[in-house]
Structure 1
Amino acid sequence: MRGSEVVQNGDELTVRLQVLAHPLRVYVRSGRLPPTNGGASSGARGVLAAVAAETHILIGQLHEKDWQQHASDTDGPASVERVEEALEPLSAENAAAMMGRLASQDLVWPEFTFMERTEADTVAGQVVELLGPDALWWSNGDEHSWSAVSACTFDGLVAGTDGHRFAVLVQVGED
């Protein structure tokens, strides 16, 4: 697809996010959020629950597809509720930086890179920009600590939404 076709089809967010993916390490998911049960009255809490559910779907897919036999937690990935509890608010600037780091640098062996950091930062910034200035962003941790959600020893995630669309990036690893 050409750039203008992507914009017309509403797929630019998906296309940009896919650039950040890396086989067996960095997984991405984007799309439209389902309507929240409480509608507008459910506010940010309803949106957080919806993003946690979409994040849980991605984590379940990566576990089933690639990581079930390698994961350190035999109970499997965290429940939707546990994912929601793990998500901490993040500024758009910090979301872009964390997304760029997770897309470019291995959590387990930081000297191993998936893509150039400057390219990852640029694309991550575009993802953040596509969701707009009013988007809400979350992560399960920072450079030093995190709340595990994937059943793998290491995981890092960034999730965001403009209330209608969402984007999730997760990196997993075992040492």
Structure 2
Amino acid sequence: MKRQRADELALCMKKLAHPRRVYVRSGRLASTANGLNGVRAALADQVRALLQQLWKDWEQDATGLDGPASAQQVQEALEPLAADRAVELMSQLAAECLVWPGAGFMERSATDAVARRVAQLLGPGAHWWSNYDPELACYSSAVTPCTFDGLIAGTDGHRFTVLIQVGED
């Protein structure tokens, strides 16, 4: 049953991906992650792994020459989110371009359904984080070398998901 849920989680995340714009990663956290701070640090390591993957695509085009943020910088950028807000932001990042408002990648109704399923698979006790700043109503802590990035990450303490949208204007 656990393996089946992990496979479905990976499949759902792949549905939210878009080439060179929306990157996803999911899997199991390191078994050494314990306590909320340990889980958050392990999740930041997984975000960093995804950042290294997208850096291969964006190294020539990105504004920042230093490359992606370190795991420590990612951890510092992660702001907690309520599950319903995480689902909303994940769906929005998968569907709509941060750089060019009105330009889309997928139908919002499709991304809404998939993002809701991701949250169901992680369960009601999942913790969610983002680099979204609700006071500024924007993604304010850059974790990628790109001008624009939005990050949503969630975990139930054992499994995780990460979605990052990037872009340059």
Question: What's the CA shift string for 1:80-129, capped at 9, x where partnerless?
Answer: 10000000000100000000000000000011100001111110010011
Alpha-carbon RMSD:
1.6
Deviation at residue 9 of structure 1 after TM alignment: 7.0
Given candidates 16, 23, 32, the residue that maps to 2:19 is 23
Query: Matches of 2:150 and 2:68 in 1, distance apart?
Result: 13
Worse overlay, 89-98 or 141-150? 141-150
In the alignment, which of 159, 165, 169 is matched to residue 165 of structure 1? 159
Post-superposition shift, 1:8? 3.3
Pair 127,9 (structure 1): closer, same or farther in 2 beyond 3 Å: closer
CA contact (8 A) 2:129 2:154 kept: yes
1-side partners of 2:156 and 2:5: how far apart? 18
SS for the counterpart of 1:17 is: helix
Q: Stretches of 4+ moved more than 4 A in 1?
A: none
1:135 is matched by which residue type in structure 2? Answer: A
Q: Specify the alignment match of 1:54 in structure 2.
A: 46
- 1:75 maps to 66
For the residues of structure 2 that align with 1:139 and 1:61, how far apart are their CA atoms? Answer: 19
TM value normalised by structure 2: 0.94
Q: Which structure has the larger Rg over C-alpha atoms? A: 1
What is the alpha-carbon distance in structure 2 between the residues aligned to residue 51 and residue 157 of structure 1?
A: 12
TM-score relative to the length of structure 1:
0.91
Q: Which amino acid aligns with 2:20?
A: L
Between the aligned partners of 2:165 and 2:12, the Cα distance in structure 1 is 17
Q: Do 2:139 and 2:149's aligned partners in 1 also have CA atoms closer than 8 Å? A: no
Counterpart residue identity of residue 159, structure 2 = R
